[in-house]
Amino acid sequence: MPEAGPAAARPDHGSGTPGPPRSVVVVGAGIAGARTVLELRAQGFDGRVTLLGAEGVAPYDRPPLSKHLLDRPAPAWLADELGADALAAADDVRLAAPATSLAVDADGVRVGTAAGDVAADAVVVATGAAAVRPPGWGHAVTLHTAADAERLRAALGFPHGLAEPGGAAAGGPAAAGPGTGGPTAGGSATGGPDEGGADATAAGTATARRLVVVGAGWVGAEVATVAAAAGVDVTVVEAREAPLMTALGAEVGALTAPWFARAGVRLRTGVSVAAVEPGAVRLADGSVLPADVVLAAIGARPATAWLAGALPLEPDGSVAVDERHAPVGGSWRVRVVGDAARRRSARHGWVPGGHWDAALRGPAVAVAGLLGREAAESDLAPYVFSTQLGHELALYGLPGAADDVVLRGDPAGDDGWTALWFAPGRPEGTGTLTAVFAVDRPRDVGAARRLLAGAALPVLDRARAADPAVPLAKALAG
């Protein structure tokens, strides 16, 4: 990551720096892009707003694609979810105009599209991410867009969700006839083709009973949950030693492993996939898993290839941004929000994107910075939520690799539990809280939200924090 360099110059009347922009192009029509358009208007911007999308559909919410894959097949339109329509708030809307390039100079910005350049005073990059599918995995599907969800439902035998006559409500998956997989066109946030779509859908032309999910992260576990509940035979394969290791680490991630069997899902950990073949997944240990459908749920990569040469990209494709979402050391005319941003935080260090809450709330901070104002809440605590395998999960903060883990409650019990991470280096008996992972403990979720909203990380009394009978907010040291 880059060193913490100077923040980009902000518009400031009378200081010699440019005033607020009079035109803004927002690239990306997901939640980050829609929220940016709405925030521009909410914060008083009356200039021209152009919104560029890539999927050819109105903005929709992504979490229901996995959490409600089968019981809510129609897209959750953001105009309804947010109570405001970004399309109506923009002056120029082009939902099938993926960005191909960006140029920034002293006079403004130019976003390239197949139909020509779009010029403006400023740009907000909100192009999100694209699901990762390794080369040679053409027989696997991914899940990141509404079109992906439609293909996955059809492959599983539920082209219209659980309401399908003869579906799970009537005793099992329905046969997916030819053509029920929906569009096979591009699934990435920048509108490129979703490679392998035709091959991946072919398995769905017969009744599908066996699903292999590769990856035991948030999305993989959510899909496994709903598929198993609908009567699908589900196996999850995770190359690392425990589920959710990227987010939680091995110690806490391992505590979630027993959930899979209780939900009727087989879990294989510590073994990688050697090949995805028609009707099977071949593992590195030589074993073969029969599969009518294979879901690659091994993560997503920021959809930022179109920014090459215009902005510095991190190895994972993200853009390092300052506290106002401007590229570190870059032009005030550019802001990056949502999955594409890796944000500098005084409280948490470098915060990766990739989660819904950052895309929802980050645009308010970005727009305030673009317009030369102070945001009401600038240093947002990282937050992830999930419903999976019979549990409600919430993660606040950012665990460190060297942090100590303290458990609050019994993971083997029925009353829920919470994991707390403490940074090393505090006097014995106290600890600097860096993150909270709550399982079926809504009160701890609310307390974590308040504790991690201050200017600095809170210091807790470890013994009190570990006692589930003591309200977490009452565990502050001193």
Asked if 383 and 394 count as a contact pair (C-beta separation under 8 A), the reply is yes
Q: Does residue 197 carry a pLDDT above 90? A: no
* 136-140, 176-180, 198-202: range with highest mean pLDDT: 136-140
Return the percentage of the chain with pLDDT > 90, whole number.
82
> pLDDT tens digit string along 65-93?
999 999 999 999 999 999 999 999 999 99
Burial state string for 250-277 with b = 16 or more CB within 10 A and e = fewer than 16: eebbbbbbebbeebbbebbbeeebeebe
Asked if 207 and 158 count as a contact pair (C-beta separation under 8 A), the reply is no
Rounded Cα–Cα distance for residues 113 and 128 (Å)? 17
pLDDT value at residue 122: 98
Q: Which residue has the tokens 């191909």?
A: 100
Structure tokens at 35: 């929220």
Rounded Cα–Cα distance for residues 398 and 350 (Å)? 9
pLDDT value at residue 412: 94
**Amino acid found at 156:** L
Q: Which residue has the tokens 């941003």?
A: 341
C-alpha of 215 from chain center:
15
Q: How crowded is the C-beta side of 451, counted as CA atoms within 13 Å? A: 27
Q: Classify residue 304 by its DSSP letter.
A: -
Mean pLDDT of the chain: 89
pLDDT value at residue 207: 57
H or E segment at 297? none
Rounded Cα–Cα distance for residues 164 and 71 (Å)? 10
* pLDDT band with cut points at 50, 70 and 90 for residue 174: very low
> pLDDT tens digit string along 12-61?
333 345 678 999 999 999 999 999 999 999 999 999 999 999 999 999 99
Asked if 354 and 25 count as a contact pair (C-beta separation under 8 A), the reply is no
Asked if 25 and 33 count as a contact pair (C-beta separation under 8 A), the reply is no
Rounded Cα–Cα distance for residues 303 and 113 (Å)? 15
Q: Tell me the backbone φ, ψ of residue 186, rounded to 5 degrees.
A: -55, 145
Helix, strand, or coil here: 13?
A: coil
Find the DSSP H helices in 205-317: 218-229, 245-254, 257-262
* pLDDT band with cut points at 50, 70 and 90 for residue 319: very high
Q: What average pLDDT score do residues 400-429 get?
A: 93
Count of CB atoms within 10 A of residue 24's CB?
28
Name beta bridge partners: 233: 210
Q: Classify residue 284 by its DSSP letter.
A: T
Structure tokens at 360: 């929802």
Q: Which of 229, 76, 216 is nearest to 156 (CA)?
A: 229
pLDDT value at residue 166: 43
Q: What average pLDDT score do residues 407-412 get?
A: 96
Q: How far is CA 242 from CA 2, 167, 216, 255, 400, in A?
A: 31, 33, 8, 8, 17
pLDDT value at residue 27: 98
pLDDT value at residue 354: 86
DSSP-derived secondary structure for 400-452: -TT-EEEEES-TTSSS-EEEEEEETTSPTTEEEEEEEEEES-HHHHHHHHHHT
pLDDT value at residue 192: 35
Find the DSSP H helices in 109-217: 146-156, 197-202
pLDDT value at residue 56: 97
Torsion, Cα of 162, 166, 172, 173 (10° steps)? -70
Q: Does residue 394 carry a pLDDT above 90? A: yes
Q: Which of 212, 222, 227 is nearest to 153 (CA)?
A: 227
> pLDDT tens digit string along 320-379?
999 999 999 899 999 999 999 999 999 999 999 988 999 999 999 999 999 999 988 889
pLDDT value at residue 427: 78
Q: Does residue 193 carry a pLDDT above 80? A: no
**Of 7-11, 210-214, 238-242, minimum mean pLDDT range:** 7-11
Return the percentage of the chain with pLDDT > 70, whole number.
87
H or E segment at 110? strand 108-113
Q: What average pLDDT score do residues 441-461 get?
A: 95
Q: Tell me the backbone φ, ψ of residue 280, rounded to 5 degrees.
A: -160, 155
